[in-house]
Chains A and B, each alone.
Chain A
Amino acid sequence: MKKLVSVIATALLAVGLPLSAAAEESPKVIRIAFSSAGVGGKPAAASGLLATAHQRGIFEKEFAKDGIKVEWTFFVGAGPATNEALALKKVDFATQGDLPLVFARDNGLSTKIIAKDSQFSRNYVVVPTASPIQSLEDLKGKKFTVQKGTATQLTLNRLLTQAGLKESDLKVIDMVSDSQKAALSTADVDASLQSSTDLVSRGLVRRIFKVDDPKLTAPSQIWVAEEFETKYPQIVQRFVTTLIRESVWSVDEKNRDEQFRLWGKTGNPYSDYKEDFSGSKLRDRLNPLLDEYYTTSIAKSIAEAKQFRFLRRDVPTEGWIEPKYQKAALKELKLEGFWDEFDGEGKRKATASAK
Chain B
Amino acid sequence: MKYPKKQIVTAIGAALLTLASSANAAPPTTEELLKQLSALRATVDALQKQVKEQADNLEKTRESIPQGAELATTQDVEGVRSQLEDHKYNTARDREYKTALSSRGLTIGGTLTGSYVTSTAPSASTSNNPQGKPAESGFGVGATLSFAGNLYKDYAEGKNLDYRVAFTYANPKLANNNSTNSPALGDTVTRLTDVYLQYSLLQNLGALEDPKLTATFGQQKIPFGLEGQVSDELKPTVSTAQFLGDSNLKNIGHRQIGLIFRGDLFPNADYGFNYRAPLFEYAFGVVNGNGENTTDDNTRKDYLGRVTFTVPADYNSWLRELKFGVSYYGGWKNLNSTGTNFPVQLDNARTIRKGFDISYNHNPIGITYERADGSEDDLQNPGSLTDRRTRRTKKTGQVLTVFYNFGDIAQWSKNLNRVGKFDDFWPTTSQVYYRYDTWDPNNYVNADRTIKQTIGYNLFFAETTKFQIGLTRTEYDRTLGKANSTDLTAQFQYGF
Contacts and interface: CB of A to CB of B under 8 A. Distances in A.
A75 B421 CA distance: 10
Contacts of A149: 271-274
Given A79-B272, A87-B316, 13 more contacts: A12-B457, A43-B421, A75-B419, A84-B275, A84-B315, A103-B273, A104-B272, A107-B315, A108-B317, A109-B316, A149-B273, A175-B206, A274-B66
A23 interface: no
Contacts of A203: none
A107 B416 CA distance: 18
Contact of A173 (B66, B207, B272, B486): B207
9 contacts: A1-B484, A75-B419, A80-B274, A81-B416, A81-B419, A84-B415, A88-B409, A88-B416, A174-B206
Nearest to B434: A9
A148 B271 contact: yes
A37 B272 contact: no
Interface string A215-238: 000000000000000000000000
Contacts, number: 138
B418 A16 contact: no
A257 to B, nearest CB: 5
B434 to A, nearest CB: 6
Nearest to A305: B272
Interface in B398-427: 404, 406, 408-410, 413-416, 418-422
- Residue in B208, B413, B430 with the greatest tally of chain A CB atoms within 10 Å: B413
A87 B418 contact: no
Interface in B61-111: 66-67
A80 B415 contact: yes
Given A15-B432, A16-B404, A108-B314, A44 B420 contact: yes
Contacts of A13: 404, 432
B363 interface: yes
A301 to B, nearest CB: 13
Contacts of A108: 314, 316-317
B419 A73 contact: yes
B471 interface: yes
Given A12-B457, A13-B404, A16-B430, A107 B420 contact: no
A176 B205 CA distance: 14
A42 interface: yes
Q: Is the interface of B mostly helix, strand, loop or mixed?
A: loop
B444 interface: no
B272 A103 contact: yes
B411 to A, nearest CB: 12
B211 to A, nearest CB: 16
Given A1-B473, A87-B273, A103-B272, A81 B415 contact: yes
A174 B272 CA distance: 13
B453 interface: yes
Interface in B204-224: 205-208
B273 A83 contact: yes
Interface in A133-191: 148-149, 153, 173-175, 188
B468 to A, nearest CB: 13
A206 B130 CA distance: 78
B364 interface: yes
A43 B420 contact: yes
B314 A107 contact: yes
A192 to B, nearest CB: 15
Contacts of A261: 66
Contacts of A102: 272
A110 to B, nearest CB: 10
Contacts of B434: 9
Interface string B447-486: 0000001011100000000000001010000000000101
A41 B262 CA distance: 34
A15 B418 CA distance: 27
A27 interface: no
Interface string B307-318: 000000011110
Interface string B39-65: 000000000000000000000000000
B457 A42 contact: no
B455 A12 contact: yes
A284 interface: no
A85 B416 contact: yes
Interface in A238-260: 257
B56 to A, nearest CB: 18
Given A12-B455, A12-B457, A15-B457, A103 B271 contact: yes
B276 to A, nearest CB: 11
B496 interface: no
A118 B367 CA distance: 43
B342 interface: no
B426 to A, nearest CB: 13
B420 A74 contact: yes
Nearest to A108: B316
Contacts of A109: 316
Contacts of B432: 12-13, 15-16
A90 interface: yes
Interface string A1-37: 1100100110011011101000000000000000001
Interface in B295-331: 314-317
B316 A19 contact: no
Contacts of A79: 272
Nearest to B423: A43
A38 interface: yes
Contacts of A38: 420
Contacts of A83: 272-273, 315
B274 A84 contact: yes
A44 B420 CA distance: 8
A42 B272 contact: no
Interface pairs A-B: 7 shortest CB-CB: A103-B272, A37-B420, A149-B271, A74-B420, A81-B415, A107-B316, A43-B420
A137 B424 CA distance: 45
Contact of A85 (B155, B415, B422): B415
A193 to B, nearest CB: 16
A83 B409 CA distance: 15
A203 to B, nearest CB: 17
A214 interface: no
A188 B155 CA distance: 8
B415 A174 contact: no
Contacts of A9: 434, 455
A104 B415 CA distance: 15
B271 A5 contact: no
A17 B404 contact: yes
A88 B272 contact: no
A270 interface: yes
A343 interface: no
A87 B315 contact: yes
Interface in B126-153: none
Contacts of B486: 1
A276 interface: no
Interface string A264-276: 0000001000100
A80 B272 contact: yes
Contacts of A175: 206
Nearest to B431: A16
B363 A88 contact: yes
A77 B272 CA distance: 11
